[in-house]
Structure 1
Amino acid sequence: MTETNPATRPPEYAAIRTDGLTRRFGSTVAVSDIDISIPRGTVYGFLGPNGAGKTTTIQMLTTLLPPSSGAGWVMGVPITNRDRVKSHIGYLPHESPVYESFTAREQLAYAADLRRMEAAAADERIETLLDRIDLIDAANDRIGTYSQGMRRKVGLVQALLHEPDVAFLDEPTNGLDPRASRTVMQMITEQVEAGMTVFLSSHILSVVEELADTVGVLYEGQLVAEDTPAELVTRTECTDGAGTLEEAFLDITTDYTTTANVR
């Protein structure tokens, strides 16, 4: 059977789909006419330099910011339906949303209560994830005493706590040491193997290269490239087989800038 083109699939087929998604701030176009279709149970790496529109795109997909035009769906639900979309997603923004006066256990119990998780199941999952992310010994300390990396861990656990269908993770390894980064990457892989879809934004391109099934490159608000990490590397000047996604990213954005300047 011939595989259907992702762009023509119905919205409910994909975990995330957009059709001409656009956001303007006055006369400034932050995100322009984005079309993506992300299969369920995959990792989508979302790359771009600072100011490219990555955060704006994520905020639209997580219902925090309405689009100026176009449409989007998460698990087949229009992003205009905020409550239903929120029931499907977990979100780790660039700055972990935690209360400094809470302990890690209190923060996660509060998050579980907001998600209306059953108390016993929530407690068990909290303990499992705290142990996995190596925070169990500090779980009763105030978050205000935590390092940046420890706060990041709490934010990640909070995003994954309710086992969402789709997790939006913005720089999940930011501030983590290599060992903790490896643990986070393993956790993401396990969640995806269990059926979760992950929308991953990171400036650490080695993380994206290892985890992502597909990579989209956003530049000046436009999706300028989209393919598997291996294919993106192959399409660039890195033809000796030793190229990296970082080199491919630099080539893609440089080529786009050069072409735009010529026009």
Structure 2
Amino acid sequence: MQTPVLEIVNLCKRFGDRTAVDDVSLRVPAGSFFGLVGPNGAGKTTTLSMAVGLLRPDSGTVRVEGLDVWADPVAARSRLGVLPDGLALPERLTGRELLTYLGRLRGLAPRVAAGRADELLAILDLAGADRTLVIDYSTGMRKKIGLAAALLHGPSLLVLDEPFEAVDPVSALTIRAMLRQFIAIGGTVVLSSHVMATVEQLCDHVAVVHRGRIAAAGPLDRVRAGATLEERLVELVGADLDLTRSPSWLVS
């Protein structure tokens, strides 16, 4: 069996009395576009944070291309490009300075880092804001510069938490095209999203997370089981929806 690009085995995390991630295991095949979906508070962000080495698990292992994220962090993370939830950036740098600085931290030669920064800024429509401080960027612009930073060193695996949140429709089309090209050249993408239509358009594999566990995982069509992904998610999480309810003061 081919070694998965990302392998999560029996991952657990508790915060006090609450179990956020409960024995989660996932295998992400090479070259796949893998979507992680589920209701708010399901454990998606906690799972991804542990998968990329930002949050230490209570138990379990994570391997990137066979490298243990916690036992061999430098080698494992060199393969990773990460856009985390609640992205914190050096806000007193300009967009160009940020990418150049991160490129140098990644060991890129100055000319290579500058050239890649130029290309990414142009593709993501940030060239006009390359000398603007990151603190003055909008939420959508921060998402785009964060994605640029994740791609800068040429990773083989991208892990993106809500990459389209607050991004305008034109930029979203650009990002989708870029991610598809990344897959086409042999990369792998894992993303979380609350927008089921986006996941269905982009992803060929999906996992549904509910109450810290995997409710279903596999190829998209198998998980959907003849329904839309939204319908299947509602079924899997056991949501009892009453769409007729409304605040009493809004009902005539």
TM-score, structure 2 as length reference: 0.89
Q: Which residue of 2 aligns with 1:29?
A: 19
Structure 2: distance between partners of 1:228 and 1:56? 23
- Distance (Å, rounded) in 2 between the aligned partners of 1:183 and 1:95: 22
Structure 1's unaligned 5+ residue stretches are: 239-243, 257-263
Indicate the SS of the match to 2:100.
helix
Q: Which segment is superposed worse, 79-88 or 43-52?
A: 79-88
Asked if residue 110 in structure 1 is aligned to residue 101 in structure 2, the reply is yes
What's the counterpart of residue 180 of structure 2? 189
1:50 aligns to what SS in structure 2? coil
User: Is contact 1:17-1:35 (8 Å) kept?
Assistant: yes
CA distance in 2 between counterparts of 1:217 and 1:255 reads 14
Instruction: Name 1:135's counterpart in structure 2.
Output: 126
Give the aligned residue type for 2:200: E
CA contact (8 A) 2:10 2:61 kept: yes
Hey, what does 2:248 align to over in structure 1?
none
Q: Which residue of 1 aligns with 2:246?
A: none
The sequence identity of aligned pairs, in percent, is: 36
How far apart are 1:133 and its partner, in Å?
0.7
Quote the residue 2:250 is aligned against. Answer: none
- SS of the equivalent of 1:14 reads coil
Q: What is aligned with 2:57? A: 67
Code of the residue aligned with 2:73 in structure 1: it is R
Deviations 1:8-63 (A, max 9, x none): x6xxx110112212122343221111121111121110111111111111111111
Amino acid paired to 2:28 = I
1:219 matches 2:210: yes
Q: TM-score, normalised by structure 1?
A: 0.86
Counterpart of 2:60 in structure 1: which amino acid?
A: G
Q: Which amino acid aligns with 1:102?
A: L
Q: Please say if residues 42 and 212 of structure 2, whose CA atoms lie closer than 8 Å, have aligned partners that are also in contact.
A: yes
- Alignment-derived partner of residue 78 in structure 1: 68
Provide the rounded CA distance (Å) in 1 between the counterparts of 2:90 and 2:10.
37
Match of 2:42 in 1: 52
Establish whether residue 202 from structure 1 lines up as the match of residue 193 from structure 2: yes
Q: Per-residue deviation at 1:255?
A: 6.6
Return the structure number with greater relative CO, CA threshold 8 A, min gap 6.
2
Amino acid at match of 1:60: M
Give the Å deviation of 1:201. 0.6
1:122 and 2:95 aligned:
no
Cα shift readout 1:109-144 (whole Å, capped 9, x = no counterpart) = 111111111221121111111111111111111122
Distance 2:176 2:48 in 1: 20
Match of 2:33 among 20, 25, 43: 43
Distance in 1 (alpha carbons) for counterparts of 2:135 and 2:44 = 28
User: What stretches of structure 1 move > 6 A for 4+ residues in a row?
Assistant: none
Corresponding position of 1:261: none
CA displacement, residues 157-215 of structure 1 (integer Å, 9 cap, x when unaligned): 01111111111101111111111111111111111111111110111221111111100
**Structure 1 position 179 matched with structure 2 position 170:** yes
Paired position in structure 2 for 1:166? 157
SS of the residue 2:36 aligns to: strand
1:249 correspondence with 2:233: yes
SS at match of 1:18: strand
- In structure 2, list runs of 5 or more residues that go unmatched: 241-252
Q: Which amino acid aligns with 2:171?
A: A
Q: How many Å apart are 1:254 and its aligned residue?
A: 1.8
3-state secondary structure, aligned to 1:111:
helix
Task: Quote the offset at 1:230 in angstroms.
Answer: 2.5
Paired with 2:194 and 2:155, the residues of 1 have a C-alpha distance of: 24
Let me know the Cα RMSD of the aligned residues.
1.8
CA distance in 1, matches of 2:168, 2:15: 37
Contact 1:63/1:85, CA 8 A, preserved across alignment: no
